[in-house]
Copies of this chain bind each other. A is one copy, B any other.
Amino acid sequence: MKIGILGLGLIGGSLGFDLRSQGNHVLGVSRRESTCKKAIDLGIVDQASVELSLLAAADIVFICTPIGLIIPQVEQLIAYLPATTIVTDVGSVKTPIVAGISPLWNNFIGGHPMAGNTDAGIEAAQRNLFVNRPYVLTPVATTPTDAISVLEEIVRSLGSIIYHCQPEKHDRAVSWISHLPVIVSASLMAACLSETDPEIFQLAQNLASSGFCDTSRVGAGNPELGVMMAQYNRQALINSLHQYRQNLDEFIDLVSQEKWLLLEDKLKLNQQNRPKFLE
C-alpha cells in the first residue's frame, strides 16, 4: 500500500518507521527540505518532498501537522488527490477538525493516537510508539465503511487498541483526562508563585518533593501546546473546569466546616476509583 504522511514530527515520523517496516511504500511531506532529508536518512520514508503533490499517489494520507494547520493543509492537499484517497489526522481534538474537513472530503476519518512523549520533532520519532496505546477513530454517519476498514487495519498493524466514538464524546473524554489536568496543575504552580513571604517561598522550594513534582508536572509543560488544547477544545474544557470548581468548593467546604468523616468518604471514593483510570 502507498501511505502518505504530511508532517514529519514525532507522530508522523514514528508512523513512518512502523508502516514502512511492514512493507508499505511511505511518502513523506514536510515544509522543510532538511526534515525531508532526515526522514530518508533515518529510513522513515521511501520518498520525501516539500511539495504536497507527492501525496497524489497515496492510497491513504495521515495528516500529522500541529493541530492549527490540519484544516488549512487538507484544504490545499485535496486539490492533488483522487476522490478515492482516504485522509485521516492525528490531532488531539476532534470536533472542530471533523466539522471542518468532513464537508470537504467524504473519505475523511478523524483519528487520535494516544501516544507521545515530552520530546518533539523527527529526531524523537521511534519504532513501536503506538503498541498497546489507545487509538481513537471518530467516523461520522456518512463516512464510507470501506475507508474505515482500511484505516482500522493499518491502526491494528501498529499494535494500537482501537476505540470508536463521536468527535464530541472524544473531546469531552480527553478534556477530563488530558486538558483539565493541565489547568488544574497550572493553577497549583501559579498559586505557589503567589506566596509573598520570601522565607516561606524559599522553604516551599526546598521542601518540595515527589508529590508536588507529580502534581505540578503537566501544568508547567510546553506553553504553546497548553494554549492550543484550550483553544481547540475550549467548550469541553470550560465544562470540565466548572465541574472541577464545584468539586474543589466542596472540598474547601469540608475542610472549613471540619466535616472530617465526609472528607474521608470522598477521599476513599477517589482511592477506590483511581485504579480504573490506570493501565
| B-side contacts of A142, CB under 8 Å | none
| B-side contacts of A251, CB under 8 Å | 183, 186-187, 190, 241
| A240 close to chain B: CB less than 8 A | yes
| A217 close to chain B: CB less than 8 A | yes
Q: Mark A183-217, 1 if CB is under 8 A from B, else 0.
A: 11111111111110101100111111101111111
- The A99-157 residues at the B interface (CB cut-off 8 A) are 114, 134, 136
A173–B197 CA distance with the chains assembled, in angstroms: 10
The smallest beta-carbon distance between A56 and chain B, in angstroms, is 34
A111–B22 CA distance with the chains assembled, in angstroms: 61
Copies in the complex: 2
| A34 close to chain B: CB less than 8 A | no
A263–B231 CA distance with the chains assembled, in angstroms: 10
| A247 close to chain B: CB less than 8 A | yes
Smallest CB gap from A255: residue in B: B230
Q: Are B209 and A177 in contact (CB under 8 A)?
A: yes
Q: Mark A60-86, 1 if CB is under 8 A from B, else 0.
A: 000000000000000000000000000
How many A residues touch B, CB cutoff 8 Å? 91
The smallest beta-carbon distance between A109 and chain B, in angstroms, is 17
| B-side contacts of A249, CB under 8 Å | 245
A238–B249 CA distance with the chains assembled, in angstroms: 11
| B-side contacts of A223, CB under 8 Å | 264, 267-268, 270-271
| B-side contacts of A134, CB under 8 Å | 206-207
Smallest CB gap from A222: residue in B: B271
Smallest CB gap from A248: residue in B: B187
Q: Are A205 and B269 in contact (CB under 8 A)?
A: no
Q: Are B199 and A165 in contact (CB under 8 A)?
A: yes
A residues with a Cβ closer than 8 A to B are 114, 134, 136, 161, 163, 165, 169-170, 172-174, 176-178, 180-195, 197, 199-200, 203-209, 211-224, 226-227, 230-231, 234, 237-238, 240-252, 255-256, 258, 260, 263-264, 266-271, 273-274, 276-278
